[in-house]
């Protein structure tokens, strides 16, 4: 091709408004393409569920996670070509934003479209902080009013509770499955109705008429499908009891109702930031998120967008919330409580329950990993099933925060230990890369504060957390309690990923028996140890758990300290077994064993 015909030089000849229109159109097309492919994958969930195709379900989840980045990479190339030397002309970008805004005004997913545009401009400009002229820092649109009952809901009323539940479960137009797909529908519905009635009795609302308000679509994840909503009794002034029907489909039996969850706490655990995203029809994400928020008012919008698979937009929502919090508060960023990291500098604002983690330039002894390797492991967690036990870490780039919000000691520490990532710019601190995650109470601190029964309960769940991770093919690497935390729902989760690896890559060994006195007394191992060798019999020595935590852990999870347990999990994983980790405790199940 003649040089004069290349698109780059063609851009030079276009008026600003023409170039803006062409670029905005390309961005709009790319966004439409993203949405179409997102919906396609999401719509497959129902068939995967009915075919009990767990492998396919996980593959879809992974494909959908990559989609945004893939579409955006293509678009960036296309626009770089289209705009040529004018790629970074800010006045053109202000015009592009205006044209694009008129496109997304037509979309039912306008906020997702705005974030998509932000992702594009941030790629082009590597913007420090944010820039309202070329980004949708705030939305261009007032959110439409949301209503109660749900915008995306279906009400079942005017019959006995049994019939209402049955109608909700079997209505295919509202996420349910036709009666003929079910195994023992009547029995399940009977058990579910009993549970709902018991919950109402507990709340002193016996005898009143009940209606069900359900979100009119199913939420799919792993091998499960979930129908969520609330039960409202006449006497309750419209305050409902949030609930979730948890459906499974295994073997030839048909669909079963495995469990019923009640209350905000149960639902919060189902929609937790420690789990993979749901696949759920979300033609208007705003309506869906606001309906969910009526059930879980404590969750941030960011968490709910995340839960339904819009993790990039969740970052926009998080950022808006964070800036609002900064403006509404005056406290200072400080080093997070707990044992300081050897790999990360971790800091937090006492008035806001997230932590910021910045990778150090150099790691303290004995860490021999590299910053890239640390990032690789955090990425692995993002892509892997988090099993309800790994805190989600969002990556942020080029954060800009006023210097006077930092405690001087922390700032000094950041500039010294993370100088490649953190620098001063005028009155601001610019952070080129940070992981942002929910702040939880580090388990080592919790053990010093909690009473005996809380310590025992935490230790039991700590053991279960390690087992859940094992079942999902994850070995945390560093089992020390400083790397685990307690959520506000009392669950034990893990947050330090720099040594995390696949369980099937580990070599779980028996501890060799010493044959001589010298071997017995040796401080260092007298046998050779390779990198992936792990000796479960030694775990308990270095964990140094307080009592009664130690006894409680041993009582319920003594098998963790024997290599046989680990090797048997490895065997199952290698045979392709994908064990289901339920997002609810066994007592919520209607039938405890299949």
Mode of pairing for the β-strands spanning 394-402 and 352-359: unpaired
> In whole angstroms, how close is the CB of 449 to ligand ATP at the nearest point?
14
Nearer to Mg ion by Cβ, of 213 and 496: the residue is 496
Q: Residue 213: which residues within 8 A CB-CB, separation 6 or more?
A: 149, 150, 153, 154, 155, 156, 229, 230, 232, 240
Nearer to Mg ion by Cβ, of 313 and 386: the residue is 386
Q: What angle do CA 436, 434, 90 make, to 5 degrees?
A: 110
CA distance 559 to 555: 10
Tokens 């994908």 appear where? 578
Of 43-51, 181-189, 383-391, 490-498, the segment contacting Mg ion by CB under 5 A is 490-498
> In whole angstroms, how close is the CB of 187 to ligand ATP at the nearest point?
43
Which of 247, 336, 414, 552 contacts ligand ATP by CB under 6 A? 336
Tokens 């109705």 appear where? 193
Q: Are 42 and 281 in contact (CB under 8 A)?
A: yes
Q: Residue 67: which residues within 8 A CB-CB, separation 6 or more?
A: 34, 37, 38, 41
Encoded one letter per residue, x for contact with ligand ATP by CB under 6 A and - for no contact, window 495-524 reads xx-x--------------------------
CA distance 47 to 51: 6
Is 381 a binding residue for ligand ATP by CB under 6 A? The answer is no
120 makes contact, choosing from ligand ATP, Mg ion, none, with CB < 5 to 8 Å by partner type, with none
563 makes contact, choosing from Mg ion, ligand ATP, none, with CB < 5 to 8 Å by partner type, with none
Q: Are 557 and 468 in contact (CB under 8 A)?
A: no
**Helix %, strand %, coil % for the chain, to 5?**
50, 15, 35
Nearer to Mg ion by Cβ, of 203 and 342: the residue is 342
Q: What is the 3-state secondary structure (H, E, C) of 178-223?
A: CHHHECCHHHHHHHHHHHHHHHHHHCCCCCCCEEEEEECCCEEECC
Of 159-167, 220-228, 303-311, 337-345, the segment contacting ligand ATP by CB under 6 A is 337-345
Nearer to ligand ATP by Cβ, of 281 and 315: the residue is 315
Is 210 a binding residue for ligand ATP by CB under 6 A? The answer is no
131 makes contact, choosing from Mg ion, ligand ATP, none, with CB < 5 to 8 Å by partner type, with none
Which of 485, 508, 557, 584 contacts ligand ATP by CB under 6 A? 485
Nearer to Mg ion by Cβ, of 266 and 496: the residue is 496
DSSP 247: E
Nearer to Mg ion by Cβ, of 118 and 483: the residue is 483
User: Greatest CA span in the chain, whole angstroms?
Assistant: 86
Of 228-236, 270-278, 478-486, 571-579, the segment contacting Mg ion by CB under 5 A is 478-486
> In whole angstroms, how close is the CB of 443 to Mg ion at the nearest point?
11
CA distance 58 to 581: 14
Is 483 a binding residue for Mg ion by CB under 5 A? The answer is yes
Is 262 a binding residue for ligand ATP by CB under 6 A? The answer is no
> In whole angstroms, how close is the CB of 240 to ligand ATP at the nearest point?
32
> In whole angstroms, how close is the CB of 149 to ligand ATP at the nearest point?
36
Q: Are 175 and 278 in contact (CB under 8 A)?
A: no
Is 437 a binding residue for Mg ion by CB under 5 A? The answer is no
How is residue 430 written in tokens?
């610019």
- Burial (CB count <10 Å: 0-12, 13-18, 19+), residue 576: exposed
Nearer to ligand ATP by Cβ, of 359 and 470: the residue is 359
DSSP 1: -
Encoded one letter per residue, x for contact with ligand ATP by CB under 6 A and - for no contact, window 389-408 reads --x-----------------
Which of 56, 129, 263, 338 contacts ligand ATP by CB under 6 A? 338
Which of 346, 387, 399, 414 contacts ligand ATP by CB under 6 A? 346
Q: Are 484 and 443 in contact (CB under 8 A)?
A: yes
Q: Are 483 and 449 in contact (CB under 8 A)?
A: no
Which of 496, 570, 582, 584 contacts Mg ion by CB under 5 A? 496
> In whole angstroms, how close is the CB of 482 to Mg ion at the nearest point?
5
Mode of pairing for the β-strands spanning 344-349 and 333-335: antiparallel
DSSP 376-426: HHHHHHHHS--TTTB---EEEEEEEEEGGGB-HHHHHHHHHHSTTTEEEET
Is 476 a binding residue for ligand ATP by CB under 6 A? The answer is no
HSE-up of 392 (CA within 13 Å, CB side)?
20
Is 254 a binding residue for ligand ATP by CB under 6 A? The answer is no
> In whole angstroms, how close is the CB of 454 to ligand ATP at the nearest point?
18
Residues from 418 through 447 that contact ligand ATP (CB under 6 A) = 437-440, 442
> In whole angstroms, how close is the CB of 273 to ligand ATP at the nearest point?
10
> In whole angstroms, how close is the CB of 496 to Mg ion at the nearest point?
4
309: nearest Cα among 121, 549, 106, 66:
66
> In whole angstroms, how close is the CB of 374 to ligand ATP at the nearest point?
8
> In whole angstroms, how close is the CB of 439 to ligand ATP at the nearest point?
4
Q: SS3 for 47?
A: helix
Which residues bind to ligand ATP, rule: CB under 6 A? Answer: 336, 338-339, 341-344, 346, 355, 357, 391, 437-440, 442, 478, 482-483, 485, 495-496, 498
Which residues bind to Mg ion, rule: CB under 5 A? Answer: 341, 483, 496
């Amino acid at each position: 091709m003649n040089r004069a015909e290349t698109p780059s030089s063609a851009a030079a000849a276009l008026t600003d408004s023409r170039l803006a229109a062409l670029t905005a159109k390309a961005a709009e097309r790319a966004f439409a393409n993203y949405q179409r492919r997102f919906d396609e994958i999401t719509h497959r969930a129902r068939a995967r569920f009915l075919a009990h195709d767990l492998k396919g379900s996980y593959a879809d989840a992974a494909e959908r996670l990559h989609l945004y980045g893939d579409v955006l990479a293509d678009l960036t190339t296309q626009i770089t070509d289209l705009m040529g030397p004018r790629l970074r002309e800010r006045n053109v970008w202000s015009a592009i934003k205006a044209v694009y805004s008129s496109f997304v005004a037509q979309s039912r997913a306008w906020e997702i479209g705005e974030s998509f545009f932000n992702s594009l401009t941030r790629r082009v400009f590597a913007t420090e902080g944010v820039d309202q002229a070329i980004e949708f820092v705030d939305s261009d649109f007032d959110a439409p009013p949301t209503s109660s009952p749900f915008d995306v809901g279906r009400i079942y009323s005017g019959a006995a509770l049994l019939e209402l539940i049955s109608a909700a479960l079997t209505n295919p137009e509202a996420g349910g499955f036709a009666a003929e797909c079910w195994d023992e529908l009547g029995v399940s519905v009977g058990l579910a109705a009993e549970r709902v009635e018991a919950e109402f009795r507990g709340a002193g609302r016996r005898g009143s008429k009940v209606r069900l308000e359900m979100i009119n679509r199913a939420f799919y994840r792993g091998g499960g499908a979930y129908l969520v909503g609330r039960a409202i009794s006449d006497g309750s002034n419209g305050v409902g009891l949030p609930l979730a029907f948890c459906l499974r489909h295994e073997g030839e039996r048909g669909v079963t109702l495995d469990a019923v969850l009640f209350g905000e706490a149960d639902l919060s655990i189902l929609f937790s930031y420690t789990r993979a995203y749901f696949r759920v029809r979300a033609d208007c994400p705003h309506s869906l998120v606001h309906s969910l928020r009526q059930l879980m008012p404590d969750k941030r919008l960011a968490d709910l967008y995340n839960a339904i698979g819009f993790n990039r937009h969740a970052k926009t929502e998080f950022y808006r919330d964070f800036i609002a919090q900064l403006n509404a508060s005056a406290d200072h960023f400080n080093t997070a409580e707990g044992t300081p990291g050897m790999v990360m500098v971790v800091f937090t604002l006492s008035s806001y329950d997230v932590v910021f983690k910045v990778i150090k330039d150099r790691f303290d002894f004995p860490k021999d990993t590299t910053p890239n390797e640390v990032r690789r492991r955090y990425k692995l967690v993002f892509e892997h099933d988090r099993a309800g036990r790994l805190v989600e870490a969002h990556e942020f780039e080029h954060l800009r925060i006023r210097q006077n919000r930092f405690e001087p000691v922390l700032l000094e520490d950041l500039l010294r230990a993370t100088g490649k990532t953190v620098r001063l710019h005028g009155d601001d601190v610019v952070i080129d890369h940070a992981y942002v995650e929910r702040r939880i109470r580090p388990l080592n601190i919790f053990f010093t504060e909690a009473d005996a029964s809380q310590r025992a309960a935490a230790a039991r769940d700590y053991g279960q957390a390690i087992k859940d991770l094992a079942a999902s093919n994850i070995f945390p690497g560093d089992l020390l309690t400083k790397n685990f935390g307690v959520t506000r729902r009392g669950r034990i989760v893990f947050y330090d990923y720099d040594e995390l690896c696949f369980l099937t890559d580990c070599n779980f060994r028996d501890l060799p028996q010493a044959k001589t006195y010298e071997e017995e007394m040796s401080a260092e191992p007298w046998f050779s140890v390779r990198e992936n060798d792990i000796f479960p019999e030694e775990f308990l020595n270095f964990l140094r758990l307080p009592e009664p935590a130690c006894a409680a852990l041993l009582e319920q999870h003594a098998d963790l300290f024997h290599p046989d347990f680990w090797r048997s999990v490895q065997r199952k994983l290698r045979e392709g077994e994908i064990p289901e980790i339920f997002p609810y405790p066994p007592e919520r199940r209607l039938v405890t064993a299949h």
